[in-house]
């Protein structure tokens, strides 16, 4: 029996909005995600590593099992959810935001408002993360309906014991369509950005690297990042900068005695620059709020937390300039997959309790280590 040797999938880069210069995002047409041929899988993998964020429209009927299968294309040996069981820790800042689907525990439900029944979950109340729970100085109540912030720029990763997922997928199940918001940086630059309410925003780690000076590029290639043990518990008392790009230093981090037992072998030391497995390009990939120490080329350890954060912030801030931010305008049925090792992303927006929103998120702790920056 003859087999198709080509795929019917076509790849369409998403044009940036007027004035923007980001080069990430592509729509893929002609897919049946429940029945992919090996050729289709190759097209999808190549598109992900070329465009960093890929979007499939009209996928409302995608099952949690099919979502898991598509997400696993990028790491066939991966099995368990990207945060493992670490979410069970009640002190973790991630704990309130996620509900696990019983039939497919790698898939989590996130969103806002009361949902009577969804995929085996009953009477769940979802809460869209609001920056006032994380930022040192939130937008005022008066401005809150119209103004928003980047909640927290991050890579999806436990950053302790487990390796950062290769890819994350998001399915927009229910999307309230309400007014857009103005996203404010509030860092003295006057930078702001108009975003659809509840937009997920992405920046390219490759662009974040490319816009650095040659000296900073060399520094980034040669420097390693030590992440805090149990980072999401460690940072639970600390507060974020107004840009959502890392923390302010107020000595609010938990001390080792306040954390679960620490196994030093599980502490993650990762390069600053991660290599794209298809194109070989380098991305500046640092989870800014979980950073604790830096190890320089000559072995010097920088462990003054305030200084560590200043160094990382100076490297990362140019890469989140408004023109570099791709803000997804979600429609119900949108299914996005992103290269978690090549982008930083953030939640934005605020919703009223009656604005019900349901998304499904899936990622798996990786079976592969981060690719180092050395050629
Ligand atoms: Fe995320």
CA of 144 to the centre of ligand 1 (A): 22
Q: How confident is the model at residue 371 (pLDDT cuts 50, 70, 90)?
A: confident
pLDDT of res. 98: 81
pLDDT of res. 90: 62
CA of 346 to the centre of ligand 1 (A): 7
| H or E stretch at 55 | strand 53-56
CA of 152 to the centre of ligand 1 (A): 9
Burial environment of residue 280 by CB neighbours within 10 A (0 to 12, 13 to 18, 19 or more)? exposed
Q: How confident is the model at residue 374 (pLDDT cuts 50, 70, 90)?
A: low
Mean pLDDT along residues 133-149? 97
Residue, of 81 and 167, whose pLDDT is higher = 167
CA of 4 to the centre of ligand 1 (A): 36
Summarised one tens digit per residue, pLDDT across range 295-307 is: 999 999 999 999 9
CA of 245 to the centre of ligand 1 (A): 14
Note the pTM of the prediction, 2 decimals.
Answer: 0.95
Whole-number Å distance between alpha carbons of 119 and 68? 14
- What angle is formed at CA 146 by the lines to CA 144 and CA 149, rounded to 5 degrees? 65
CA of 213 to the centre of ligand 1 (A): 28
Summarised one tens digit per residue, pLDDT across range 59-115 is: 999 999 999 999 999 999 988 888 876 555 566 777 667 899 999 999 999 999 999
CA of 255 to the centre of ligand 1 (A): 26
Q: Does residue 1 have a pLDDT over 50?
A: no
Whole-number Å distance between alpha carbons of 336 and 36? 16
pLDDT of res. 28: 98
Whole-number Å distance between alpha carbons of 196 and 189? 22
CA of 6 to the centre of ligand 1 (A): 33
Summarised one tens digit per residue, pLDDT across range 282-292 is: 999 999 999 99
pLDDT of res. 228: 98
CA of 20 to the centre of ligand 1 (A): 23
CA of 1 to the centre of ligand 1 (A): 43
Summarised one tens digit per residue, pLDDT across range 171-218 is: 999 999 889 999 999 999 999 999 999 999 999 999 999 999 999 999
CA of 141 to the centre of ligand 1 (A): 26
Q: How confident is the model at residue 2 (pLDDT cuts 50, 70, 90)?
A: very low
CA of 345 to the centre of ligand 1 (A): 6
CA of 154 to the centre of ligand 1 (A): 6
pLDDT of res. 285: 98
CA of 298 to the centre of ligand 1 (A): 33
CA of 113 to the centre of ligand 1 (A): 19
CA of 80 to the centre of ligand 1 (A): 16
CA of 156 to the centre of ligand 1 (A): 5
CA of 7 to the centre of ligand 1 (A): 30
Question: Measured in whole angstroms, how far is the alpha carbon of residue 104 from the centre of its chain?
Answer: 21
Average pLDDT, the chain: 94
**Which three-class secondary structure state does DSSP give residue 298?**
coil
Secondary structure (DSSP) of 92-143? -TTGGG-EE-TT-TTEEEEEEEEEEEETTEEEEEE----GGGTBSSPPPGGG
CA of 155 to the centre of ligand 1 (A): 6
CA of 171 to the centre of ligand 1 (A): 13
In order of 29, 286, 296, the CA distances from 153 in angstroms are: 29, 10, 24
CA of 2 to the centre of ligand 1 (A): 42
Q: Does residue 155 have a pLDDT over 90?
A: yes
Q: Does residue 337 have a pLDDT over 50?
A: yes
Domains of the chain: 10-363 (3.60.130.10)
Q: Does residue 336 have a pLDDT over 80?
A: yes
CA of 172 to the centre of ligand 1 (A): 14
Whole-number Å distance between alpha carbons of 285 and 30? 32
CA of 97 to the centre of ligand 1 (A): 11
Which of 98-107, 127-136, 197-206, 327-336 is least confident?
A: 98-107
């Amino acid at each position: 029996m003859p087999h198709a040797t080509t795929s019917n999938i076509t790849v369409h880069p998403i044009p940036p909005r007027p004035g923007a210069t980001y080069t990430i995002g592509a729509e893929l047409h002609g897919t049946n995600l429940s029945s992919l041929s090996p050729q289709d899988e190759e097209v999808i993998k190549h598109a992900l590593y070329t465009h960093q964020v890929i979007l499939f429209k009209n996928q409302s009927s995608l099952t949690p099992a099919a979502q898991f299968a598509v997400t696993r294309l990028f790491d066939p040996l991966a099995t368990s959810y990207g945060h493992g069981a670490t979410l069970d820790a009640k002190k973790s800042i991630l704990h309130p935001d996620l509900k696990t689907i019983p039939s497919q525990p790698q898939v989590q439900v996130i969103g806002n408002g009361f949902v009577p029944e969804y995929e085996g979950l009953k009477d769940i109340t979802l809460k869209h993360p609001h920056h006032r729970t994380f930022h040192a100085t939130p937008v005022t109540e008066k401005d809150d309906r119209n103004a928003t912030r980047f909640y927290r720029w991050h890579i999806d990763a436990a950053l302790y014991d487990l390796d950062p997922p290769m890819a994350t997928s998001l399915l927009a199940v229910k999307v309230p369509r309400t007014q857009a918001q103005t996203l404010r940086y509030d860092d003295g630059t006057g930078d702001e950005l108009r975003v659809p309410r509840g937009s997920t925003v992405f920046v390219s780690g490759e662009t974040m690297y490319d816009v650095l000076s040659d000296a900073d590029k060399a520094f980034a290639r040669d420097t390693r990042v030590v992440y805090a043990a149990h980072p999401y518990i460690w940072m639970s008392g600390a507060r974020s900068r107004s840009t959502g790009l890392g923390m302010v230093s107020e000595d609010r981090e938990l001390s080792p005695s306040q954390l679960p037992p620490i196994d030093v072998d599980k502490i993650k030391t990762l390069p600053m620059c991660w290599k794209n497995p298809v194109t070989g390009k380098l991305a500046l990939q640092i989870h800014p709020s979980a950073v604790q120490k830096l190890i320089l080329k000559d072995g010097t350890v920088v462990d003054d937390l305030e200084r560590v954060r200043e160094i990382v912030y100076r490297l990362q801030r140019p890469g989140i300039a408004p023109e570099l931010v791709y803000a997804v305008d979600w429609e119900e049925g949108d299914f996005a997959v992103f290269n978690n090792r090549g982008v930083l992303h953030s939640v934005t927006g605020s919703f009223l309790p009656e604005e019900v929103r349901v998304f499904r998120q899936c990622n798996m702790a990786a079976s592969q280590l981060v690719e180092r920056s050395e050629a």
